[in-house]
Amino acid sequence: MTVDLSQLLGGDSTLLMVLGCACLCVVGFMLVGGLQLVGGLLGTVSSLVEIVFDVLSGGPVSWCGCLVLIFVCVGGVGGAYLITQALATCGTPQAINLCSLFGR
């Protein structure tokens, strides 16, 4: 059973081989990009888990500061939200003294 090379390199099969190689390259690039993305996401998640366990294993002195920082951040965001909601009433009959503080 011999295969004649001229049959494989005919007009139609050459085009099919080129298209097949191009598709393999595109699929390969997509797989490499997808693996990089998945690896990066897994690395980020594992780093966050490592930070949490490092803080928890450090004792109350370590995580007490983190807890205070979280409360300060939540309080700052909550305060900004409340001020934004209060300033939305400026120019209406329900306006409060905070509007005059900000010059509205």
- Across residues 48-65, what is the average pLDDT? 81
Q: Answer whether residue 95 shows pLDDT above 60.
A: yes
Residues 6+ apart with CB under 8 A from 7: 13
Does 101 lie in the same domain as 66? yes
Residues 49 and 68 in one domain: no
How far apart (Å, rounded) are the C-alpha atoms in residues 52 and 58? 10
- Please give the structure tokens belonging to residue 33: 């990009």
Q: How many domains does the chain contain in total?
A: 2
| 20, amino acid identity | G
What is the residue range of 50's domain?
1-57
Q: Are 49 and 77 in the same domain?
A: no
Residue type, 48: L
Q: Are residues 79 and 95 in the same domain?
A: yes
pTM: predicted TM-score of the whole model, two decimal places: 0.42
Whether residues 52 and 74 fall in one domain: no
What torsion do the CA atoms of 35, 38, 39, 45 make, to the nearest 10 degrees? 180
Whether residue 52 sits in one domain with residue 71? no
Same-domain status, 94 and 74: yes
What integer pLDDT is reported at residue 48 of this predicted model? 92
Average pLDDT over residues 14-25: 82
How does residue 44 score in pLDDT terms, banded at 50, 70 and 90?
very high
pLDDT at 103 over 80: no
**Phi/psi of residue 8, nearest 5 degrees:** -70, -30
How much is the pLDDT for 90?
A: 82
The encoded tokens of residue 13 equal 């099969």
Would you say residue 3 has pLDDT above 60?
no
